[in-house]
Structure 1
Amino acid sequence: MALVTVTPPTSTPVSLSEAKEQCRVTESNHDGLITRLIKAAEDSIESYTGARLSEQTVQLELDGFPSGCIDLGVYPVTAITSVLYDDTDDVETALVLDTDYWKNLGGMYPALTAVESWPATKYGKPASVRILMTVGYAASADVPQDIRHAILLRVKEYFDNAGESVTGAEIYNTVSSVDSLAHMHRRIGI
């Protein structure tokens, strides 16, 4: 299973001005650094939670259909664009919503379920099933506030400790705070 970004996000869950305020920076000479730190913090929180925070297009690639439902592996999923597979003759075929599969896009574990059963795919072919979907929150205001705050705390942590390898209570407290803010949004492997 691979989740491939097809169209990357064009926005971030927090703005440069919000991150600068969190870091208590007023001048613009750190804008490039803080912009990179926002992306790093977003990636960190996404990795921890299993969510995609900014709207983007991704493709889930499977080496065949499972015996049950397909866990889409990420949330929030806002749209399924296509479900394609390579049949036993290696012909690309599209599945049809409500004819071949049902979708349940709500919650942290969005999934697809076969109406009857999943079709056979080309044996041994990698990525013989491809699900193209839109994921992430459409606007930064839609991102849960505790996640946005966790990103801002992580940006400040990265900014304050750039290049340092100091261990101590202050760094530990920041990590603990970020984890506690993001924990209720974390997907647990199923």
Structure 2
Amino acid sequence: MTLALITAASLEPVSLAEMKAHLRLVSDAEDALLGEFIKAAREHVERQTRRCLLTQVWRLYLDRWPQGRVVPFPIGPVQSVEQIVLYDRQGASVLLTPADWSLARGTDPARLRVALGAGLPHGQLDGIEIDVRCGYGSAASDVPETLRQSVRLLAAHWFENREAGTELAMASLPHGLDRLLSVNRMPRL
């Protein structure tokens, strides 16, 4: 099972203005750097929780259907399945129709069940591609506040502790971040 980002989030869950207010910054001199810290913090929070904060499209590659033809998604929250494509050994593609599968979004993680007889892979490595739209929504206000606070804490920590040699900078994460992330971490099945 491999994941690849197809469409990235179009904005961040914490705006530059919000981050500057959090840090009590008035200067615009380091806006570009602060923007990079916000993006890196969001990506870190997403990796640690296995959740997309804002709407993104990911492609899940499978070699074969799992037991019972039920696919638990390794990321979430799942908004929809965009398409499912299978490839044979010659590279010809077959697009499954929505009638061939059902999505259980009410579980954590969300799961996809493919109907028996629909989409028989032919032994091709990565012969199954599932495009899935994930995220809490397309606006920063759609993201739960605990996850937005995690982004703010981490971006502020990196902004304030840029020197590798200080004792405080040696601490990998700010105090309390692990607790904020742990309550939002998606379980693995």
Q: CA separation in 2, counterparts of 1:35 and 1:90? A: 41
Deviation at 1:185, TM superposition (A): 1.0
Q: Which amino acid aligns with 1:2?
A: T
Percent same amino acid among aligned pairs? 25
- For the residue of structure 2 that corresponds to 1:154, the secondary structure is helix
Look up the match of 1:30: 30
Q: CA separation in 2, counterparts of 1:108 and 1:157? A: 30
Look up the match of 1:86: 87
Look up the match of 1:129: 128
Farther off after superposition, 47-56 or 113-122: 113-122
Question: Is 1:18 the equivalent of 2:8?
Answer: no
TM-score (norm 1): 0.89
- For the residue of structure 1 that corresponds to 2:67, the secondary structure is coil
RMSD, matched Cα: 2.2
Residues 95 and 180 from structure 1, CA distance in 2 versus in 1: closer, same or farther, beyond 3 angstroms?
Answer: same
> Any stretches of 5+ residues in structure 2 without a counterpart?
none
Cα contact 1:22–1:153 (8 A) shared by 2: no
Q: CA separation in 2, counterparts of 1:171 and 1:156? A: 14
Q: Which amino acid aligns with 2:49?
A: T
Farther off after superposition, 160-169 or 141-150: 160-169
> Any stretches of 5+ residues in structure 1 without a counterpart?
none
TM-score (norm 2): 0.89
Question: Is 1:156 the equivalent of 2:139?
Answer: no
Cα contact 2:74–2:188 (8 A) shared by 1: no
Q: Which amino acid aligns with 1:82?
A: Q
Residues 146 and 91 from structure 1, CA distance in 2 versus in 1: closer, same or farther, beyond 3 angstroms?
Answer: same
Q: CA separation in 2, counterparts of 1:188 and 1:146? A: 17
Q: CA separation in 1, counterparts of 2:118 and 2:95? A: 12
Report 1:78-117 matches (<5 A). Answer: 78-87=79-88, 90-97=91-98, 99-116=99-116
Cα contact 2:83–2:95 (8 A) shared by 1: yes
Q: CA separation in 2, counterparts of 1:169 and 1:132? A: 39
Instruction: Give the number of aligned pairs.
Output: 187
Cα contact 2:164–2:170 (8 A) shared by 1: no
Cα contact 2:109–2:188 (8 A) shared by 1: no
Cα contact 2:85–2:95 (8 A) shared by 1: yes
Look up the match of 1:166: 166
Cα contact 2:109–2:187 (8 A) shared by 1: no
Q: Which amino acid aligns with 1:187?
A: M
